[in-house]
Amino acid sequence: MTFLMRFFALVVNALCLPLHLMERVGLYQIYKRVFPFCLYRISVTYNKKMYDKKKELFRSLSEFKKPGGQLTLLEIGCGTGANFEFYPPGCKVICTDPNPHFHKYLKRCMDDNSHLNYERFLVASGEDMGSVEDDSVDAVVCTLVLCSVNSIAQTLREAHRILRPGGAFFFLEHVMADPSSWAYFFQHVLQPIWYYFGDGCEVTRETWKHLEAAGFSELKMRHIEAPFIFMIKPHIVGHAVK
């Protein structure tokens, strides 16, 4: 199966040559303006199917606020604000995303979730959040983001840096399938075209290994099967404490 997988991956990669060229000359940047609209539509469906999982994940957020204080949360790659409805009332939210074109949809979601206090929106990648102080937030949230960052390890280092001692990193990510499965086969074959469709998304990442090596004092993580197509069915969900 390995030979066939590599062969068909090369075929798909060759078919993606026009997309490779568009990215090389900068034309792919046009899609980054359209992608927020696509993700806004996709997020509605995703939240409906993963509502219970997200509700369960974020139920413990309030446990990480400082005694007598307000929960301060930073979300990496906030996108259209699909997680806002799950955050506890009164929570102070710092939003970050490398794509400034999300702001229109983010503002709409902010208006729909007035139970939160929004501090600021930073145009920043997960690997470089230098404008956020060390040990300054109670929780960092990252959902469906580690699949597209340039460096998972550096993003986790940044999350660890800005978390106060005892704070938590919450995650929900799709990951690579079991190597013995057909899902694994098609993830590798279709990855070249999926990369462009998902604005840099890679479905072949073993994200759990990076979390295990990130130096958190406690890691609670589960592998689950999400109700989606085989490409993004395998997920990991949980939180890690600094």
Strands across the sheet containing 72-76: 117-123, 92-97, 72-76, 137-143, 163-174, 234-241, 218-225
- Give me the residue label for tokens 């993700």: 39
Weakest-pLDDT range from 21-30, 215-224, 233-242: 21-30
Q: What is the pLDDT of residues 31-83, one digit of tens each?
A: 888 888 888 889 999 999 999 999 999 999 999 988 878 999 999 999 999 99
Phi, psi (degrees; rounded to nearest 5) at 39 = -70, -35
122: β partners: 96
Residue 121 token pair:
């929106």
Contacts of 219 (CB under 8 A, 6+ apart): 211, 212, 238, 240, 241
When pLDDT is cut at 50, 70 and 90, the band that residue 132 belongs to is very high
Strands (DSSP E) contained in 68-157 are 72-76, 92-97, 117-123, 137-143
When pLDDT is cut at 50, 70 and 90, the band that residue 107 belongs to is confident
Q: For the chain, list the domains and their CATH numbers.
A: 1-241 (3.40.50.150)
Task: Check pLDDT > 90 for residue 103.
Answer: no
* Closest listed residue to residue 164, CA positions, set 132, 126, 128, 137: 137
**Residue type, position 40, single letter:** Y
Give the pTM: 0.94
- Beta strands 234-241 and 218-225 are antiparallel
* Closest listed residue to residue 216, CA positions, set 181, 185, 175, 171: 171
Q: What mean pLDDT do residues 104-121 have?
A: 90
Cα dihedral across residues 236, 237, 241, 242: positive or negative? positive
- Give me the residue label for tokens 């069915």: 233
Weakest-pLDDT range from 20-29, 45-54, 120-129, 221-230: 20-29
Q: What mean pLDDT do residues 148-153 have?
A: 96
pLDDT of residue 1: 66
Q: What is the pLDDT of residues 156-171, one digit of tens each?
A: 999 999 999 999 999 9
97 close to 72: Cβ distance less than 8 angstroms: no
**Residue type, position 148, single letter:** S
pLDDT of residue 190: 95
Q: What is the pLDDT of residues 1-40, one digit of tens each?
A: 688 899 988 999 999 999 889 888 888 888 888 888 888 8
- For 123-161, letters b (16+ CB in 10 Å) and e give ebbbbebeebeeeebbbbbbbbbbbbbeebeebbebbbb
Q: Which letter does DSSP use for residue 89 in this model?
A: T
Phi, psi (degrees; rounded to nearest 5) at 111 = -65, -30
